[in-house]
Amino acid sequence: MTQATPVLQGLPPLLDANTRLVVLGSFPGVASLRAQQYYGHPQNQFWKIMGTLLSPHAADVLATPYAERAQWLLSQGVGLWDVYAACEREGSLDANIQNAQPNDLQSLRIRCPALVAIAHNGGESFKHAKLTRALGLPVHRLPSTSPANASWTLARKLEAWREVFDAAGLLR
């Protein structure tokens, strides 16, 4: 008898009325779901990139408790969400996602009236660019911050992310 893969539920959106750029991932990995945190795997480079781009004290961002980091990110005009609300998946790889249920990405304009751009964090998320482009905003494909994306160096990822954040007017 084969055991069914349980349906996993994603994280709630981290958005507010001042969100200027939404970073859309695919679906949280095992470590992120366990911690109930976006980009909760210690090897994921998301928070290191955010600290480097948006704070003169990047190390402080990494050392800050998640709830404070999340509020700080919102205060910078950056929101987080995933393209999938729920799915079945063994492990953390996007390639293993099955029976995915999408989030209501069309609601982003209402949820985030100050929105100026959308950034897809990785290829699986970018598969939904047709939906996000329908919102009439610039849509960007960014290299995944996941540890599975080892073909890009941190410096190369940082430069790609810097271009998008600069274009969205988020860099001081």
> Cβ(130)–Cβ(108) under 8 Å?
no
Q: How far apart are CA 120 and CA 103, in angstroms?
A: 14
Q: How far is CA 52 from the centre of its chain?
A: 16
Q: How far apart are CA 5 and CA 135, in angstroms?
A: 34
79's CB contacts (< 8 A; 6+ apart) are: 13, 14, 15, 16, 19, 21, 22, 23, 73, 112
Catalytic residues: 44
CA distances from 106 to 2, 48, 55, 116 (A): 37, 29, 31, 14
Phi, psi torsion values for 84, nearest 5 degrees = -110, 135
110's CB contacts (< 8 A; 6+ apart) are: none
